[in-house]
């Protein structure tokens, strides 16, 4: 109700919707007092941006009864609060000096609960070595997860729906589209469809499926890595090479053991 009053949805717009200036417009304060983390967060952002009150760049520093709300929202696990506190630390907004290490901590917390912007910014910090040792592996993993949560990821779900309706060629096209934006599951599914004969790829099918599995395995897909081992073992799409197949099977076994130990 407070956000509806603030945005003018179903009532005249009121930028003081959380200041208890009437029987309805105090609902954000009431929600915050009942422990709703999103109410804390929106009140902090409104204080920070000067919406309904004088602008306060210290909205997360607990210098008064309202300006600590971002910290309180973050402590209750609200991902947007973690993200904004990370960005405020990164830019030095509302504090004496910026802290890249503290920013990385907050952004990592937000990324772990699925905040896409936090995933991207955390990946960039790892990639550039800011606030941590430069490391491409966590950066690539975070960017992979971020891409899988982007709007373009909907094409993967469309592929699933087409497959279960029996439209295999169209499903293949959707999976290939997903693969082109970096989604390893799209690559693996496209290769599986062709290998099982659900969709046609002409005489180049073994070569195409191997390349798709190779790209998918490079992103950590163990099933695709196993398919690469089979391809070398049987000489499907590549030259028969039992030594290489054996090495890949050994790697697959290690990956499964590691996966089982982390469950």
Candidate from 22-31, 104-113, 197-206, 251-260 with smallest mean pLDDT: 22-31
Distance (Å, rounded) from C-alpha 59 to C-alpha 82?
A: 13
Distance (Å, rounded) from C-alpha 201 to C-alpha 18?
A: 60
pLDDT tier, 83 (very low <50, low <70, confident <90, very high otherwise): confident
Residue 190: per-residue pLDDT: 93
Letter string b/e over residues 131-143, b meaning 16 or more CB atoms within 10 A of that residue's CB: bbeeeeebbbebb
The count of other CB atoms within 10 Å of the CB of residue 7 is: 13
Mean of the per-residue pLDDT values of the chain: 75
- Domain 77-149 listed as CATH 1.25.40.10: yes
pLDDT tier, 10 (very low <50, low <70, confident <90, very high otherwise): low
CATH number of the 154-261 domain: 1.25.40.10
Residue 70, CA distances (Å) to 36, 55, 59, 188, 237 in order: 12, 15, 7, 42, 56
Mean pLDDT of all residues in 185-202: 87
Residue 38: per-residue pLDDT: 55
Residue 259, CA distances (Å) to 16, 148, 256 in order: 52, 20, 5
Closest CA to 86 of 55, 120, 53, 63: 120
């Amino acid at each position: 109700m407070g956000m509806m009053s603030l945005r003018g949805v179903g009532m005249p717009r009121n930028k003081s919707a959380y200041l208890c200036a009437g029987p309805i417009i105090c609902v954000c304060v009431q929600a915050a007092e009942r422990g709703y983390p999103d109410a804390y967060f929106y009140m902090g952002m409104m204080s920070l941006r000067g919406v309904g009150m004088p602008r306060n760049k210290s909205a997360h520093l607990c210098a008064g009864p309202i300006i600590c709300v971002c910290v309180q929202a973050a402590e209750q696990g609200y991902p947007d609060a973690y993200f904004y506190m990370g960005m405020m630390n990164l830019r030095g907004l509302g504090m004496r000096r910026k802290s890249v290490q503290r920013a990385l901590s907050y952004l990592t917390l937000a990324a772990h609960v699925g905040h896409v912007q936090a995933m991207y910014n955390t990946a960039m910090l790892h990639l550039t070595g800011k606030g941590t040792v430069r490391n491409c592996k966590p950066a690539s993993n975070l960017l992979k997860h971020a891409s899988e949560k982007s709007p373009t990821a909907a094409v993967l779900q469309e592929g699933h729906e087409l497959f279960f309706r029996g439209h295999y060629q169209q499903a293949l096209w959707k999976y290939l589209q997903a693969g082109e934006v970096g989604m390893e599951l799209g690559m693996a599914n496209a290769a599986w469809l062709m290998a099982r004969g659900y969709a046609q790829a002409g005489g180049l099918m073994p070569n195409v499926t191997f390349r798709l599995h190779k790209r998918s395995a490079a992103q950590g897909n163990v099933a695709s890595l196993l398919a690469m081992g089979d391809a070398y073992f049987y000489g499907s799409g590549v030259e028969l090479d039992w030594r290489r197949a054996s090495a890949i099977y050994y790697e697959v076994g290690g990956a499964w053991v590691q996966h089982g130990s982390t469950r």
